[in-house]
A and B are shown apart, each in its own frame.
Chain A
Amino acid sequence: MADEFEPKIVAFLCKWCSSAGSDLAGVSRMQYPPNVIPITVMCSGSMSPLYILSAFKKGADGVLVSGCHPGDCHYIKGNFYARRRIALVKKLLEFIGLEPQRFQMSWVSAAEGTKYTQIIKDFVEELKPIGPQTKLRRSS
């Protein structure tokens, strides 16, 4: 058990929905694995593809971007831009040869603590069998 692979995940959560949803998971004392370090951004629309590449370069085994449900973005339409941009990043990462499971996008509202919990649980489970990410990791 001790040396079971523990994936390192960075989760970019928009402040208004997904970060609030993850707060709700906390308030409701739901439990999920501690592999994820959350970074709150203002809106999923502010997610530059470079952030995602940077996380992989710095050794992330998985990256999650989570925003408000389409149509519910606090900034009206930021997540529509995010959706388009992120679809491109996904293609790019697959083109480079990164396992598609390593990069995920989800919609989690402020009320969806349960959904956030489940997403993290599933993400960690999916990453365990594929092992560490080496494709983009900066060799140092």
Chain B
Amino acid sequence: MKRTGVFVCHCGINIAGTVDVKKVAKELSRHPGVAHAEEYVYMCSDPGQNLITEAIKEKKLDNVVVACCSPTLHETTFRNTSKEAGLNEFQCEIANIREQCSWVHKDMEKATRKAIKITKSAVERVRRNESLEPISIPVTRRALVIGGGIAGIQSALDLANSGYEVVLVERSPSIGGHMIQLSETFPTLDCSQCILTPKMVEVSKHPKIKLLTYSEVQEISGYVGNFKVKILKKPTYVDPDKCTLCDECTKVCPVVVSNEFDIGLTGRRAIYIPFPQAIPATYTLDIKSCPGLLPIACGKCADVCEPEAIDYDMKPDIIEEDIGAIIVATGYDLYDKGLMAEYGYGKYLDVLDGLQFERLCSASGPTQGKIIRPSDHKEPKEVVFIQCVGSRDPELHCAYCSKICCMYTAKHAMLYKHHVPDGQAYIFYIDIRSGGKGYEEFVQRAVEEDGVLYLRGKVSKIFEDKGKIKVWGVDTLTGKDIEIDADMVVLATAMRPSQGAGELAKKLKIAMDKDGFLSEAHPKLRPVESVTPGMFLAGAAQAPKDIPEAVAQASGAAAKAVAILSQERLFHAPTVAQVNLNLCTGCGMCVEVCPYVSLSLKDGKVEVNEVLCEGCGTCSATCLRAAIQVKNLTPLQVHEMIDASLGGR
């Protein structure tokens, strides 16, 4: 029989105050197979650990149980101690008699009895533990960044500047994301494009960055350190190397569609460049709105293109990349406009969303920064801004706070006043959330310097009346009804995960929260990691956030990725599934349920990919023949633990 050592910690009075530790040690010393049992005031202290190493050597112990605090705290400590004494680290198990026992009970006798059972259960388990070595896997030292907004750009630059190759995949024709659409940014009012375009250029020039625009991740397989990614590059029908940006094609293209860069405030042609500073600097032929690539259908652009850059025969390309770590930075979209009919959005031309207002204010926008009404091009003298449109409305829309709208609405009202000094800005709000460096001062500035009128309350009705937009609401501070004859209304609509983020998350097998934002591994301690090893999150894809936060998270994600890419090899917990080939009938039920696709059938039996397996045990609960089990928590071990827990031993 194996010789087990049991070490009971007092944890000062944390355990000894409620559990009779002497009795636990004594009782355990009588347990079959226990060759040694002792207690000590602080097992995790140096003398405590020495006690364990000495006992292992002197009493020739095969394995140990430390009865102490939660394994989340000192499992690593005591496994290392055991290793130093010459045992395999898996020959050490923890019995949690503090968090799950002494701290939650007062009755000493009962708590002691419970502690004994918990410890016996750990003894039963450790006795059947296999000695295992971590599984070692090689690392492909390249990263994939999905999404080329500010977050993705920052991650890609950080990684590339650390010396790693990066593949940056952006689905639209240019990188830049939403930040490139903004005019000025709070709280400093610096020009958004002026601070972003240098970074975009750096991306395009960086020798370590492979930029794939108009591209999407199609398929992904593999695991941390060794992903295989298939990327679909859609045809732009324009050869960027030949295109000289002469703009002749747009002059002849007969098709006009809504311009997504200006959120429909302007039109663009079927062949277009999204905005002058686009990266890559080239035109794209939007095949959906082009009448046809056949010369009979149109073909005007190709006729005028002198360098013959337009290639109607361009085909979609599938690019395969080997990748070690992935950062997902797919950003956000504004709340679906169709769902905001109650605010007259989409019904009245002069009811805009925040991004449209950014375009109106922007010096490079459709009006060169003049704020005018889309309906009659007159300067609006009364503008109503409404916050929390679609946010904080669990009944009808999104329950969460979109976090940035308070700030950008204050910014919008200020920008408006800077453009139209004799105009009046009103803001309907629920609360003002201005936590952030310089943010509260910024809001105060809007009120004090620019005379913005904040009205606490909700808007009840918006309708058009004789060229004005009537806004009815209630001021909840005074209880008075409010009626404003506005010339323009700007809605601070909720931020949503970007369209298609859900499908991508499924491909990557990373989780989403209830609102569809990507889930971090731990809300406090692992905010940039996804639950899937080797995949990290950055920017508004994870939750609504502003630029400084998106950038901080992007750099954090890059640092986490570097922690993987800088390794020659990675180590993986060896507590993985194991098949008993004599029992397996190859029914494939386990293959179906494995969340990590680590199982496959080969020659009529199931085979485990040890690198992919996370050891969850779902397969073993599914197998009707008990042919598959997870090492070191096998059904036999669990049955023995149950027995010990019920006082059977």
What is the interface of chain A, defined by CB distance below 8 A to chain B? 8, 10, 20, 22-27, 29-34, 37-43, 45-51, 54-55, 58-60, 71-72, 74-78, 81-82, 85, 117
Contact = CB atoms under 8 A, between A and B. Distances in A.
Nearest to B620: A46
Nearest to A63: B642
B29 interface: no
A51 B637 CA distance: 11
Contact of A45 (B96, B621, B642, B646): B621
A23 B70 contact: yes
Given A37-B118, A39-B638, A45-B618, 11 more contacts: A22-B99, A25-B104, A34-B101, A34-B111, A34-B114, A39-B121, A41-B633, A47-B621, A55-B646, A71-B511, A77-B595
A26 B118 contact: no
B105 interface: yes
B126 to A, nearest CB: 14
10 contacts: A33-B105, A34-B101, A34-B113, A37-B114, A39-B121, A39-B638, A45-B617, A46-B616, A46-B633, A81-B621
Identify which of B101, B514, B595 gathers the most chain A CB atoms within 10 Å of its CB: B595
A77 B645 CA distance: 28
A75 B99 contact: no
A50 B616 contact: no
Nearest to B639: A54
Interface string B597-626: 000000000000000001111101110000
B646 A58 contact: yes
A45 B616 contact: yes
Interface string B174-199: 00000000000000000000000000
Contacts of B617: 41-43, 45-46, 78
A29 B103 contact: yes
A33 B113 CA distance: 13
Contacts of A117: 104
Identify which of B103, B104, B617, B648 gathers the most chain A CB atoms within 10 Å of its CB: B104
A12 to B, nearest CB: 9
A50 B648 CA distance: 17
Contacts of B614: 75
B622 A81 contact: yes
Contacts of A10: 642, 645-646
Consensus secondary structure, chain A interface: mixed
Interface string B98-126: 11110111110011011001100100000
A34 B488 CA distance: 65
A20 to B, nearest CB: 7
Interface of B: 70-72, 96, 98-101, 103-107, 110-111, 113-114, 117-118, 121, 509, 511, 514, 531, 593, 595-596, 614-618, 620-622, 630, 633, 635, 638-639, 641-643, 645-648
Given A37-B117, A39-B641, A78-B595, A26 B621 contact: no
A43 B105 contact: no
Contacts of A48: 620-621, 635, 638
Nearest to B532: A76
A78 B633 contact: no
A34 B646 CA distance: 13
B648 A58 contact: yes
A44 to B, nearest CB: 9
B98 A26 contact: yes
Contacts of A37: 114, 117-118, 121, 645-646
A16 to B, nearest CB: 9
Contacts of A76: 509, 511, 531, 595
B98 A71 contact: no
Contacts, number: 134
A69 to B, nearest CB: 10
Contacts of A75: 595-596, 614, 616, 618
Contacts of A58: 642-643, 646, 648
Nearest to A43: B616
A42 B99 contact: no
Nearest to A23: B99
B530 to A, nearest CB: 11
Contacts of B118: 37-38
Given A20-B72, A22-B100, A23-B100, A81 B618 contact: yes
Contacts of A77: 595
Contacts of B99: 22-27
A42 B100 contact: no
A130 B107 CA distance: 24
Contacts of B621: 45-49, 81-82, 85
A34 B643 contact: no
A122 to B, nearest CB: 15
Contacts of B641: 39
B638 A51 contact: yes
A56 B335 CA distance: 52
A8 B71 CA distance: 24
B645 A31 contact: no
Contact of B103 (A26, A49, A72, A85): A26
A69 B509 CA distance: 18
Contacts of A72: 511
A93 to B, nearest CB: 16
Given A58-B648, A76-B509, A34 B110 contact: yes
A43 B111 CA distance: 26
B507 to A, nearest CB: 13
Nearest to B509: A76
Contacts of A26: 70, 98-101, 103-104
B633 A42 contact: yes
A136 B54 CA distance: 45
Contacts of B511: 71-72, 76
Contacts of A40: 71, 96
Nearest to A110: B522
A49 B615 CA distance: 18
A45 B616 CA distance: 7
A41 B615 CA distance: 11
B502 to A, nearest CB: 13
Nearest to B115: A34
Identify which of A39, A49, A85 gathers the most chain B CB atoms within 10 Å of its CB: A39
B541 to A, nearest CB: 18
A46 B511 CA distance: 20
A33 B117 CA distance: 15
B76 to A, nearest CB: 15
A85 B72 CA distance: 28
A81 B593 contact: yes
B636 to A, nearest CB: 11
A55 B643 CA distance: 7
Nearest to B107: A34
B518 to A, nearest CB: 13
Contact of A51 (B101, B622, B642): B642
Nearest to B513: A71
Nearest to A10: B645
A27 B103 contact: yes
Nearest to A27: B99
B593 to A, nearest CB: 6
